[in-house]
Amino acid sequence: MIAYIGYFLILLALFNISLLIVSRPVLSKTSLDYNDLILSTSKLQFPLVLSSFICLAISFVIDDFSLRYISSNSNSALPFYYKISATWAGHEGSMLLWCLILSLWMFLASVYSKSLEPSFRGTFLLIMGLLNIGFLAFLVFTSNPFERNISIPIDGKDLNPLLQDFGLIIHPPMLYMGYVGLSVVFSFALTCCIKQDFKKEWAQWIRPWALSSWAFLTVGIALGSWWAYYELGWGGWWFWDPVENASFMPWLVTTALIHSLIICEQKSMFKNWTILLAIFAFALSILGTFLVRSGILISVHSFANDPARGAFILIFLAIVLGISFYIYFKNSSKIQDSFSFKLISKESFFLMNNILLVTATFTILLGTIYPLVLDLLGLEKISVGTPYYNAVFLPIMTPLVLLAGFVPIYLYFRNQAISKMYLYVLTSAIVVLFLSYMSILFTGEFNLSVMIGYIIFFWIVINLIFFTYRRYNDSKRFTFLSNSIGMLLAHIGLALFVLGATIVENNKIEKEMVMSVGDSIKIKNYNFTFSNLEEFEGPNYKSVRGEFTVLKDGDEETILYPEKRLYLSSEMPMTEAGISPGLSRDLYVTLGNIVSNNKWTVRIYHKPLIRLIWLGAILMALGAILSIVTKRREKSSVGVVLEK
Amino acid sequence: MRNSIFITIFLLFFAILAAGLYTNTKEIQSPLIGQQIPIFNLPNLNSGSTLTNKSLPNEPYLINVWASWCLECIKEHNYLKNIQNINIKIIGINYKDTRNDALGWLGIYGNPYQFSIFDENGSLGLEMGVYGVPETFIIDTNGVIIDKFVGALNENDIRTKIIPQILDSNSNKN
Amino acid sequence: MILGRKLYPKYLILIAIKTSIISILLFSASFSIADDSLLYNKLIKEIRCMVCQNQNISESEAPLAVDLRNKVKEMIAEGKSEIEIKEFMTKRYSSFILYEPPKTWQNLILWLGPFVFLIILSLFLYRKSQSK
């Protein structure tokens, strides 16, 4: 019954939003305003989709196995909270979540867009509405989560054990908030194109939306990486899997976008370029959906594939992109824009940032699509993985992160005598080299990759500290922070990320061996003893649990419990790693296979500084949020001054 | 001019993705095609006597990699028997199996093989680039691999690819 | 002062060029590996598990992955070099088994494309910035 209501509500939502198209010719003959209709329609959409979503969630909780989606993604023995999260664990439900988030963004955009001119606002929301129609139609016609089973099974097949996990409860909503948030930015940019204008206030208005989408994307990607690290059982945090690439590409372009928006806003330049970035950012997020859901590429994470779904998204993408480009090329030259600047200027450095980020995106796109092209041409099949990206992607990113440490210095010195900056950069470079070299001496052997990691880290951190200190010194007040605290935090996060990633990839220790209870092994100054092995039963699985006592320099450090689980309804074996997290290192133990009686293959990893990867990502997201908040406050304080 | 370049790139991109959607991307061409069968020295599954490259037939034949734990193998088993009935020789490689299980399996489903090479630890399989049992290789008169199939054979494969290639190879010899 | 002003754009451009050249050299020259277990850990991450969905052989417990890991271990013990081991794999399983695409004409666009793209995009945008 509830499922019927849910289905009805989603149809109603599709009907409601489709009114936008149908009513246009009708309304033009009456006195009613089309913009008012758009506004009310876009506000109504969110409660409709939300109720439908809640209906699906309730159906999960009450084990309504008459729905095919529920019977293949849930089981009566599944714990309550996983029943809720199973709502978005499969293709159909996650598409409903996608539509829910799209209508949420549309709702927010209609509520907070009062400051925009009515006709601009109308067009802007109309474009969002049209996107909404596309995704809802996709949901209803190809991926209906409310589809019924022909015969009702007694119990469900169970949720994929990999997805029975806290990380997976929050990872998709965060990621989708980011992906779909870009639709706001996209619709906005396209409206600018249609209206043939991109005013400064508009750039100001769109910036928080771009920043918050970016923050959500950052958190979403970091959560995915964290989940893969502890759940998949081989201790990696990034695999260059097509699905990861699908989320990384929009992230890179959005990073470029939030930088170019600054130039738009401050200098009234780069407007066309920014619009183009906004179009590409959202197009890449649709492309990501296509890559993940069409089964076109071989990936660990892909959903069950169905060419019909792939075809739908592909056509949708072609339409969206085709129309956007048409409008862009027709109108962009009419937008008052400027693209001339000195080779050494703020604009120039920001453009360098953009070029490098766009190139990085192109690299990943090429690496993802190229094997497919070879395949179609009947040439030798290849795999593109980590070695390729290490060789091509990293050299492109290195100048970019160095730029992040340099630009604040340039901005501080640009109105002063040039020799001052000259002197500072030289001093700073020497200090950075010295510190990097010392750090390497203290942490292990000399290794060039690690050296570069340290150089990048110290270069960014020291320069930012200097920048903050000098700014403070100049005014003896912290007011400047309201402008730059977000930037500072995000870039420190970037530095930490680079440091963590380089150190863990170069200095990690990975041992794989056969052990039985009682055996010990020493890794660095840690002594791991396989002290016990026991069997027990969880709510929906059986488990063999090992116990590893870890001594550090002879003192007890921690006890780790890696598990090997067998999920009962799906008969899927799962590895649960035993992890001892720490800021300076993670200890990571997994049980592999049983070799002979009581002998197990065991993997023991020592991962230095791996937490910095996710800490860095959190700081980046926090930085983005802070720049939204601080910008607001600054604006209102200006308002107060003017009123006085 | 610039527009047409742009439109071409745009269309090409979507054409690639659309084509990819309807192409089987799982097929991998084996680099062993055109190569000799690797040198081996393994026991016969039935008798335990030693088999080497000299034990292989001097005419075109098939090598079929199978195992008792492989469910897909059952699917193609009747086709293999049909092939044997039209006088095409099939040599089995019993891949990563136990002798008891393997002999029991042949007892149940029948034995279309001239003999089976008992590759208990998968060493020959590794040399031959086996990754998805069942796999079938076509070998010509000179002992060179001329084609390879991964996964269960179907009637179409046999009619349009295997039999013609074997006949072709036979007529070349004569 | 005047000297400084003249010098400084050149100086900056030099820094930019140098850092990028150095970083390209550093990253593309894959570091040599002395320790056997390091070579083992590197190789098992670059060899694809053919039966799995996009996983390397260190990440999988599939029988084939285990076999290939053992083969790598065995070959390292025999004193085989990284190149020899990779060649062994590609001769049997095609280049698909390596996560590093071979640097052949076929893959020219893949390997050089990004750098060509970078140069073209930079030239295009910087020329555009000077034209007005």
Q: Are A98 and A87 in contact (CB under 8 A)?
A: no
Above 60 in pLDDT, residue A214?
yes
Contact B20 A376 (CB under 8 A): yes
* pLDDT computed for residue B56 by the predictor: 85
Which of B14, B21, B29 is opposite residue A381, by nearest beta carbon?
B29
* Exposed / middle / buried, residue B52 (Cβ in 10 Å: 0-12, 13-18, 19+): exposed
Non-local (6+) Cβ contacts of A29 within 8 A are none
The ipTM is: 0.88
Answer yes or no: is pLDDT of B54 > 50.
yes
User: Among all residues of chain A, which has the CA nearest to that of B26?
Assistant: A298
The shortest C-alpha distance from A242 to chain C (Å) reads 9
Least confident of A278-292, A302-316, A381-395: A302-316
Give the end of a domain, one of A384, A407, A425: A384
Instruction: With CB atoms and an 8 Å threshold, state whether C129 touches A340.
Output: yes
For range B105-127, the mean pLDDT? 88
User: Which of C64, C67, C90 is the closest to B31 by Cβ?
Assistant: C90
The confidence score (pLDDT) of residue A210 equals 95
Query: Given C50, C64, C92, which is nearest B32 (Cβ)?
Result: C92
- Angle between the N-to-C axes of helices C108-131 and A346-377, in degrees from 0 to 180, rounded to the nearest 10: 150
d(C-alpha C95, C-alpha C104), whole Å: 11
- CB contacts under 8 A, A 425-464 vs C, are 425, 447-449, 452
Radius of gyration of chain B (CA): 20
Residue A1 per-residue DSSP state: -
B-chain CB neighbours of A297 within 8 Å are 25
The answer to whether residue C16 scores a pLDDT higher than 50 is yes
Q: For residues C104 and C100, what is the distance between their CA atoms, to the nearest angstrom?
A: 12
- pLDDT higher than threshold 50 for residue C31: no
Residue B28 sits at the chain C interface (C-beta within 8 Å): yes
Residue range B121-143: mean pLDDT, rounded? 87
The answer as to whether A185 is a domain residue is no
Q: Taking phi first (over 0 means left), then psi (-120 to 50 degrees means alpha), and beta for anything else, what does residue C97 get? A: alpha
Q: Which amino acid is at B77?
A: H
**Do A13 and A75 lie in a common domain?**
yes
- Per CB-CB distance under 8 Å, the chain C contacts of A356 are 118
Q: How confident is the model at residue C30 (pLDDT cuts 50, 70, 90)?
A: very low
In a domain, A96, yes or no: yes
Q: Which residue shows structure tokens 């890559």?
A: A291
Residue A251: pLDDT over 90: yes
- Indicate whether C7 pLDDT > 70: no
Range of the structural domain that residue A228 is part of: 196-384
Q: Say yes or no to pLDDT of A620 above 60.
A: yes
pLDDT score of B96: 87
Q: Where are the beta strands (DSSP E) in C69-113?
A: none
Is the model's pLDDT at A639 over the cut of 50?
no
The CATH number that domain C33-100 falls under is: 1.10.8.640
Do A290 and A398 reside in the same domain of the chain? no
Amino acid at B29: Q
Q: Is C51's CB within 8 Å of B132's CB?
A: yes
Least Cα separation, residue A288 to chain B (angstroms): 12
Examine the pLDDT at A503 and tell me if it is beyond 60. Answer: yes
* Residue C14 scores a pLDDT above 70: no
Specify if A228 maps to a domain: yes
A382 contacts in B (CB within 8 Å)?
none
Would you list which residues of chain C are within 8 Å, Cβ to Cβ, of chain B? 50-51, 63-64, 67-68, 71, 90-94, 96
pLDDT at residue C32 above 50? no
* C3, pLDDT greater than 80: no
Clarify whether residues A207 and A136 are in a common domain.
no
pLDDT band at C33 (very low <50, low <70, confident <90, very high): very low
Given a cut of 90, is residue A541 above it in pLDDT? no
Helix ranges (H only) for chain B are 2-21, 71-85, 99-109, 123-127, 155-157, 163-173
- Flag if A395 and C1 touch (Cβ within 8 Å): no
Mean pLDDT of A221-246: 89
Buried b (16+ CB within 10 A) or exposed e, A411-430: ebbeeeebeebbebbeebee
Q: Which helix (H) or strand (E) holds A70?
A: helix A68-73
Q: Do A102 and A26 fall within a single domain? A: yes
Its pTM stands at: 0.90
Q: Which residues contact B172 (CB under 8 A, 6 or more apart)?
A: B140, B141
> Is the pLDDT assigned to residue A383 strictly greater than 50?
yes
Best C57, C72, C92, C117 residue to mutate vs chain B (most B CBs within 10 Å): C92
Interface contact flag, B29 A307, Cβ < 8 Å? no
- Indicate the residue of C28, C126, C129 with minimum beta-carbon distance to A391: C28
Does position A642 have pLDDT exceeding 50, yes or no? no
What is the percent of chain A where pLDDT is above 70? 96
Residue A550, beta-bridge partner list: A528, A558
Q: How far apart are the first and last CA of chain C?
A: 30
Cβ separation B131–C51 shorter than 8 A: yes
pLDDT band at A333 (very low <50, low <70, confident <90, very high): confident
Distance CA B22, CA C109 (A): 24
- Which residues have C-beta within 8 Å of that of residue A321, sequence separation ≥ 6? A279, A283, B10
Angle at A536 between CA A533 and CA A539, to 5 degrees: 145
Confidence (pLDDT) at B36: 86
pLDDT at B172 (0 to 100): 65
Among A136, A134, A107, A102, CA closest to A10: A136
Of residues A95, A170, A75, A82, the one with CA closest to residue A137 = A95
pLDDT of residue C17: 66
The residues that bridge with B148 in the sheet, in sequence order, are: B137
Using the predicted structure, report yes or no on whether residue A569 has a pLDDT greater than 80.
Answer: no
DSSP 3-state of A526: strand
Q: Which residues in chain A touch residue C1, judged by CB atoms under 8 angstroms apart?
A: 417-419
Q: Residue C19: which pLDDT band, with cuts at 50, 70 and 90?
A: low
Same domain for A459 and A442, yes or no, is yes
What's the rounded mean pLDDT across residues A341-349? Answer: 86
| Size of chain B in residues | 174
CA distance B121 to chain C (A): 9
CB of A297 closer than 8 Å to CB of A384: no
Q: What is the mean pLDDT of chain A?
A: 88
What mean pLDDT comes out for the span A361-374?
A: 93
State yes or no: pLDDT of A155 exceeds 60: yes
Which is nearest to B66 in space by CA: B96, B45, B39, B87? B96
> Measured between alpha carbons, how far is B141 from B56 in angstroms, rounded to an integer?
10
Residue for token pair 């052949």: C104
Domain extent listing, chain C: 1-30, 33-100, 102-132
Separation between Cα atoms, residue A624 and residue A636, nearest integer Å: 19
Whose tokens are 């893949």? That residue is C110
Is the pLDDT higher at A495 or at A568? A495
Of B3, B6, B19, the CB nearest to A376: B19
Chain A residues with a Cβ under 8 Å from any Cβ in chain B: 290, 294, 296-298, 307, 310-311, 314, 317-318, 321-322, 325, 329, 369, 372-373, 375-376, 380-381
Residue closest to A173 by CA, chosen among A212, A134, A223: A223
CA atoms of A36 and A59, how far apart (whole Å): 36
| φ, ψ of residue A43 in degrees (nearest 5) | -75, -35
pLDDT of residue A611: 95
In chain A, what are the helix, strand and coil shares in percent, each to the nearest 5?
65, 10, 20
Contacts for C43 with CB less than 8 Å, ≥ 6 apart: C72, C76, C82, C85, C86
Give contacts of C 111-130 with A, CB under 8 A: 111, 113-115, 117-118, 121-122, 125-126, 128-130
- How near does any CA of chain A get to the CA of C132, in Å? 6
Closest residue of chain A to B20, computed from CA coordinates: A296
The model's pLDDT over A160-207, given as tens digits with 9 standing for 90+, comes to 887 888 888 889 999 999 999 999 999 999 999 999 888 888 888 999
pLDDT in tens, A583-605: 989 999 998 888 887 788 899 99
- Contacting chains of C (3 CB pairs or more, <8 Å) are A, B
CA distance C108 to chain A (A): 11
Cα A490 to Cα A36, A467, A612, A617, distances in angstroms: 40, 15, 13, 8
Rg, C-alpha atoms of chain A: 27
CB B119 within 8 A of CB B42: yes
pLDDT at A641 over 60: no
Kindly state whether residue A274 falls inside one of the protein's structural domains.
Answer: yes
Residue C47 CB contacts under 8 Å (≥ 6 apart), including other chains: C56, C57, C68, C72, C89, C97, C98, C99
Residue A31: is its pLDDT beyond 70? Answer: no
- Lowest average pLDDT, out of A30-44, A410-424, B65-79, C23-37, goes to C23-37
Q: Give me the pLDDT at residue A56, please.
A: 94
Instruction: State residue A137's pLDDT score.
Output: 94
The confidence score (pLDDT) of residue A477 equals: 74
Angstrom CA distances, C23 to A397, A403, A496, B172, stand at 10, 14, 19, 57
Question: Is residue B137 predicted with pLDDT exceeding 60?
Answer: yes
Of A79, A146, A133, A63, nearest to A103 by C-alpha is A133
Please give the average per-residue pLDDT across A24-36, as a whole number.
Answer: 72
- Confidence check: pLDDT of A59 > 70: yes
Query: CA nearest B34: which of B129, B139, B125, B145?
Result: B145
pLDDT of residue C4: 42
Looking at the structure of chain A, the number of domains it has is 4
Total residues belonging to chain A: 644
CA–CA gap between residue A211 and residue A490 (Å, rounded): 11
Q: Are A113 and A201 in contact (CB under 8 A)?
A: no
Q: State yes or no: pLDDT of A463 exceeds 60.
A: yes
Q: How far is CA C103 from the centre of its chain?
A: 10
Q: Which residues contact A432 (CB under 8 A, 6 or more apart)?
A: A455, A458, A459, A462
Q: Same structural domain for residues A503 and A513?
A: no
Residue A323 predicted with pLDDT over 90: yes
For domain B32-173, is the CATH number 3.40.30.10?
A: yes
DSSP state of A157: -
CB within 8 Å: A394 and C23: yes
For range A514-528, the mean pLDDT: 89
B18 contact residues in A (CB cutoff 8 A): 311, 314
Mean pLDDT, all residues of chain C = 78
Q: What's the residue count for chain C?
A: 132
The region of weakest confidence among A426-430, A611-615, C78-82 is C78-82
Which residues between 51 and 110 in chain B have a beta carbon less than 8 angstroms from any beta carbon of chain C?
96
Q: How far is CA B160 from CA B19, B163, C84, in A?
A: 24, 7, 38
Among A496, A567, A576, which Cα is nearest to A229's? A576
Whole-number percent of chain A with pLDDT over 90: 48
Answer whether A577's CB lies under 8 Å from A589's CB. Answer: yes
Q: Report angle CA B3, B9, B10 to the nearest 5 degrees.
A: 85
**Mean pLDDT, residues C25-42 taken together:** 61
Cβ-nearest to C64 among B30, B32, B131: B131
Binned at pLDDT 50, 70 and 90, residue C1 comes out as: very low
- What does DSSP say about strands A541-552 and A563-567: parallel, antiparallel, or unpaired? antiparallel
**C39 to A198, C44, C55, C79: CA distances (angstroms):** 55, 9, 19, 11
Please state the rounded mean pLDDT for residues A46-64. 93
